[in-house]
Amino acid sequence: MSKPDLVSIEPLRPQSMEELARHFTIHQLTMDKSTWVDAVKPLGDRVRFVQTTGFAGCPGPVMAALPRLEIVSCMGVGVDAIDLAQARTRGIAVTNTPDVLNDDVADLGIALLLMTARHLALSDRYVRDGRWKRLGNQALATKVSGKRLGIVGMGRIGKVVARRAAAFDMKISYHARNRADVSWTHCPDLVAMAREVDFMIVIVPGGPSTRGLISAQVIEALGPKGILVNVSRGSVVDEPALVDALVSGRLGGAGLDVFADEPNVPEALLPLDNVVLAPHVGSGTQETRGAMADLVVANLLAHRDGKPLLTRVP
C-alpha cells in the first residue's frame, strides 16, 4: 500500500523526519520561499498533509496550490504565518504544539530579564576582553528581586512567567484583553501599566490583532530606567520606536528573542550594551523541541487514521 504524500515546508529534527518517512512520502521544500508555489503545484492532486513550523508557516498561495489539503501540522504555538482564514473557509485543520514549550519560553523570558538588568552579557565581554584587568570593577547594574513586573499577555506561558517572577518576590501586574483567573493585578490600560512597572515581559500571540501593541507610547511610558523583554513575536513591538528609544537612552534596556524581520536584526542594536539579543530560541532545548516534534507527528498520524486531533487550533 502506497504512503500518502506530505509536503514538509521546514523540516523537523532528523529522527522525527525519519518517523514521518515511515508513514508518508515526503516532499521537502527548500528554504527559498519564492520556489514554494511552483514546487507544490505538481503535487496538488495528491497532497492532503502539510508539516511546517511557526516560523515558516503555510502562506495562502501554497495552500491554494494544494486543493486536496486537509491538515497543516505546525511545530510551534504561533500560527500567524499560516493562512488561517483560508484554512477555515476550506475546512483545513490546523494544529500547533501548545503547553510543551511553556517552561522553556518562560525560563528564557526571566533569563533575558536577569541578563539585561544585571548586565550579564556585558559582564561576560568585560572579562573576556580584559577590561576587568585594565579598568577595574564594572559599573553597577539593576536589582531584579522585589521590583514591579508587568506581563503583556496572561495565557499559558504568561502564567508560568508570573510564577517564576513570584519566586523573585516581584509585584506582578498584567495586561490582557480579558481578566484572567489569577491573583495578580489586571491592568486594562497598557500605557498606564508601563508607567507603573520597572520591567515588562511581552508574551502574546502574533498576528494583526497584536501588531504594534508595544507602541512608541508604551515604550516612552516604560522610560529610561525600564526594561522590555520580548519572547512573543517581533511584530508585536514597534521596532523602529524601540531602537530609537534604546539608542537615545529613553528606554533603559531590552532583552529580545524575536524581531520584525528575522533573522535580520537592526544594526543599531548590535553595539548597545543595554540590550541582550537571542536568535529566537524560546523553545530551543533538546527536550522541548523533541516534545514539539513528537506532537506534530502525532497530529499528522491521528488525522491519517481518522482519530481526533490532539491540539487543533480553534
Residues 89 and 230 in one domain: no
Nearest Cα residue to 269 out of 286, 284, 257: 257
Mean pLDDT of 208-237: 97
Same domain for 115 and 62: no
* DSSP conformation letters of 263-277: TB--GGGTT-TTEEE
Beta strands in 160-219 (DSSP E): 171-175, 185-186, 199-202
CA distance 12 to 29: 12
Query: How many independent structural domains does the chain possess?
Result: 2
Cα torsion angle, 256, 258, 261, 262, sign: positive
CATH number at residue 181: 3.40.50.720
pLDDT given at position 96: 98
87-136 confidence digits (pLDDT tens): 999 999 999 999 999 999 999 999 999 999 999 999 999 999 999 999 99
96 and 112 together in one domain: no
For residue 171, the one-letter residue type is: K
Asked if the structure places residue 137 within a domain, the reply is yes
Where in the sequence is the domain holding 122, given as residue range(s)? 102-277
Residue 1 reports pLDDT greater than 80: no
Say yes or no: 107 and 96 in one domain: no
Which pLDDT does position 44 carry in this prediction? 92
For residue 69, name the pLDDT band (cuts at 50, 70, 90): very high
Q: Is 177 helix (H, G, I), strand (E, B) or coil?
A: coil
Q: Is residue 314 part of a domain?
A: no
Q: What is the pLDDT of residues 163-215, one digit of tens each?
A: 999 999 999 999 999 999 999 999 999 999 999 999 999 999 999 999 999 99
Does 112 lie in the same domain as 36? no
Report residue 198 as a C-alpha cell: 520597572
pTM of the full predicted structure? 0.93
Residues 136, 268 share a domain: yes
Same-domain status, 152 and 244: yes
- Residues with a catalytic annotation lie at 233, 262, 280
> Contact at 8 Å (CB) between 116 and 227?
yes
